[in-house]
């Protein structure tokens, strides 16, 4: 009796327990019904997990199974889900390219040295290009539509040329080597192509694209100076072709650091110190390791970025706020300045901090074979028979001007009405709320001009393609200017002189560490003459605009 009694009580206890468990599960199901309706792709996995847990023992196994299984399911399912998502690149990327944010980019893990097509030997730069086009024909077609190839492009920020795409380096005139007209064989050493020796160059021939000037990774590729952009004979073309990679400082700097005829001659904030900079040279490149392409991104080989004197815009302008979201300073007073002052104004306290740049160039003094150049305090010559007289400067405080993103730009054949002749300058003033006080290199000099028609003239300086008497051979301005004007199709009175000119150049690089940014007293209390900017005095005293 006793044993039977115990058995019945045990059986009754088990039945009650099972009922309680079932009722508890029903309650849990009701409580979690909303969450369960959100389960989609992992539902099958969870069902398998739960079944396995019930078959074994619910109480001890639930913590062990649920905790490890859930992360595993998520990790395994996510890549499959993503792989099912259609690529957002149209057309689809070719082999060895990845679709990244809507653009095809070279897979950094791909090694061109393994390609038999690049085993060589190559007799010329165009022979390398032919091998490149074998795989990258669409990229070559894209490149034919860029400013780096045509030296003209869209100029929505240039007054009088807002809707055009036919203005650029090819037909503007500047305060340095003046113009490429009649001088292509020398100037096109910095063209991303081969053979642009005269006005008959075929811009539809993709076989003359120079892929290596931007994509060489061997570090030994360079162009010969006077060959219309052909590679130097000493270049190992096989090594260059097999090393191709995304552009680096070395590639971009080959042209941009040496614009105007030498290291840091022209821009003032682009020179060889940026090849291996420390953070005091440029905080983005030196401390963070940025390459040029970090800011100057490309889309179908069209590269973002613009500014004086280039002014061509192939994509969105590069802005500090692309990375630094406002408010930047967490300081109400400093952040209020951003409505009136460009970031560069405070954060580039000086340009050419590591090497001198040309600040003044007098062509009128050229041609004196008896004059001996004298090096200045920076070790730079004050004179060159071929080019004239120079003034250099280092660690230069910028010139500040209002800039609303638009500018003027002198084109070949434009008539000037005042002197100094404005070769290119920012537009904007104190009344324009879109304008900011912005830093520039202010470059001055004089240049040959038709003083009857009031037109700055393009001289024939180099090579025999345009005529037998380039200035750098005959040193005869009359001959050089007549040939240059005829070549460019500019009416010429035959009377020339030298006119003073000026040009503003944008300062955007050499951003200093924040500890070196300008402070209040660097601008106020005499640091800047605010009356030149349209104020009646120091804004701290007279108030802002």
**Residue 104, Cβ neighbours under 10 Å: how many?**
21
Find out whether 43 and 35 touch, Cβ atoms under 8 Å. no
- C-alpha triplet 396, 399, 402: angle, nearest 5°: 150
The yes-or-no verdict on residue 65 having pLDDT over 80 is no
Q: Please say whether the beta carbons of 385 and 368 come within 8 A.
A: yes
Of the candidates 481, 226, 265, the one whose C-alpha atom is nearest the C-alpha of residue 366 is 481
Q: Which residue has the tokens 């001996």?
A: 372
Of residues 442 and 80, which shows the higher confidence score? 442
The Cα-based distances of 461 to 458, 470, 472 in angstroms read 9, 5, 6
417 contacts: CB under 8 Å, gap ≥ 6: 454
Confidence of residue 258 (pLDDT cuts 50, 70, 90): very high
Please name the helix (run of DSSP H) or strand (run of DSSP E) that holds residue 539, with its range, or none: helix 539-542
Separation CA 379–CA 522 (nearest Å): 29
Please report, for residues 157, 307, 405, the alpha-carbon distance to residue 430 in angstroms, rounded to integers and kept in the order given. 19, 20, 14
The secondary element (H helix, E strand) that includes residue 99 is strand 97-100
CA-nearest of 266, 143, 134, 267 to 193 is 143
Burial class (CB in 10 A: 0-12, 13-18, 19+), 82: exposed
Length of the chain: 545
Is residue 495 scored above 60 in pLDDT? yes
3-state SS, residue 497: strand
Strands 388-393 and 357-362: antiparallel
pLDDT at 300 over 80: yes
Query: Which residues have CB under 8 Å from 143's CB, separation 6+?
Result: 149, 192, 206, 209, 301
Which ranges of 91-157 does DSSP label H, i.e. alpha helix? 125-135, 137-143, 147-150
Average pLDDT, the chain: 86
Q: What is the mean pLDDT of residues 58-78?
A: 36
- Look at residue 94 in the predicted model and tell me its pLDDT: 72
User: Using an 8 Å Cβ cutoff, are 271 and 264 in contact?
Assistant: yes
* Highest mean pLDDT pick, 54-68, 306-320, 336-350: 336-350
pLDDT at 44: 38
d(CA 27, CA 411): 82
User: Tens digits of per-residue pLDDT, 198-243?
Assistant: 999 999 999 999 999 999 999 999 999 999 999 999 999 999 999 9
pLDDT of residue 100: 86
Distance CA(118)–CA(426), nearest Å, equals 47
- Residue 53 pLDDT more than 60? no
Record the tokens describing residue 397, joined without a space.
Answer: 């405080």
Percent above pLDDT 70 for the chain: 84
Using alpha carbons, select from 430, 487, 496, 538 the residue that is nearest to residue 199: 487
> Could you tell me which of 428, 198, 170, 199 has the C-alpha nearest to residue 310?
170
Cβ(104)–Cβ(94) below 8 Å: yes
CA 411 to each of CA 82, 178, 446, 457: distance values in angstroms, whole numbers, following the listed order? 51, 11, 17, 11
Angle at 540 between CA 536 and CA 541, to 5 degrees: 55
- Tell me the C-alpha distance between 376 and 394, whole Å: 11
Is the pLDDT confidence value at 17 over 90?
no
């Amino acid at each position: 009796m006793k044993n039977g009694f115990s058995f019945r009580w045990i059986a009754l206890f088990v039945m009650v327990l099972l009922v309680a468990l079932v009722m508890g599960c029903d309650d849990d199901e009701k409580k979690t019904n909303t969450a369960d309706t959100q389960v989609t792709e992992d539902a099958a996995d969870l069902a398998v997990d739960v079944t396995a847990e019930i078959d074994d023992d619910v109480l001890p196994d639930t913590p062990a199974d649920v905790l490890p299984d859930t992360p595993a399911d998520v990790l395994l399912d996510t890549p499959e889900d993503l792989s099912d998502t259609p690529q957002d690149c149209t057309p689809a990327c070719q082999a060895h390219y990845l679709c990244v944010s809507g653009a095809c980019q070279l897979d950094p893990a791909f090694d061109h040295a393994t390609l038999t097509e690049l085993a060589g030997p190559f007799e010329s730069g165009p022979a390398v290009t032919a091998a490149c086009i074998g795989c990258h024909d669409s990229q070559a077609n894209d490149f034919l539509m860029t400013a780096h190839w045509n030296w003209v492009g869209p100029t929505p920020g240039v007054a009088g040329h807002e809707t055009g795409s036919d203005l650029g380096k090819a037909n503007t005139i500047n305060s340095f080597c003046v113009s490429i007209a009649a001088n292509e064989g020398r100037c096109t050493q910095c063209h991303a192509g081969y053979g642009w020796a005269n006005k008959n160059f075929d811009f539809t021939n993709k076989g003359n694209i120079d892929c290596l000037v931007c994509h060489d990774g061997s570090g030994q590729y360079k162009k010969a100076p006077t060959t219309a952009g052909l590679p130097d004979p000493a270049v190992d073309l096989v090594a260059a072709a097999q090393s191709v990679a995304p552009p680096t400082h070395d590639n971009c700097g080959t042209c941009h650091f040496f614009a105007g005829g030498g290291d840091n001659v022209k821009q003032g904030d682009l020179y060889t110190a940026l090849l291996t900079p420390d953070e005091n040279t440029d905080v983005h490149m030196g401390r963070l390791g940025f390459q040029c392409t970090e800011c100057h991104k490309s889309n179908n080989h069209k590269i973002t970025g613009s500014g004086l004197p280039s002014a061509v815009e192939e994509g969105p302008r590069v802005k500090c706020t692309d990375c630094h979201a406002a408010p930047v300073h967490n300081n109400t007073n400093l952040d209020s300045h951003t409505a009136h002052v460009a970031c560069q104004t405070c954060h580039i306290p000086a340009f050419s901090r590591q090497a001198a740049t040309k600040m003044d160039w007098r062509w009128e003094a050229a041609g004196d074979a008896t004059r001996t150049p004298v090096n200045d305090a920076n070790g730079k010559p004050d004179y060159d028979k071929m080019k004239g007289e120079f003034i250099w400067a280092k660690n230069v405080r910028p010139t500040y001007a209002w800039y609303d993103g638009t500018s003027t730009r002198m084109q070949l054949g434009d008539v000037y009405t005042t002197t100094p002749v404005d070769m290119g300058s920012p537009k904007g003033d104190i009344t324009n709320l879109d304008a900011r006080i912005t830093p520039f290199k202010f470059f001055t000099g004089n240049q040959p001009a038709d003083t009857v028609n009031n037109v700055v003239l393009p001289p024939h300086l180099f090579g025999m393609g345009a005529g037998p008497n380039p200035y750098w051979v005959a040193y005869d301005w009359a001959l050089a200017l007549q040939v240059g004007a005829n070549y460019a199709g500019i009416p010429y009175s035959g009377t020339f002189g030298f006119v003073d000119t000026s040009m503003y150049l944008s300062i955007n690089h050499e951003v200093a560490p924040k500890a070196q940014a300008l402070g209040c007293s660097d601008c106020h209390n005499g640091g800047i003459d605010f009356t030149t900017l349209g104020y009646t005095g120091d804004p701290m005293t007279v108030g802002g605009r």
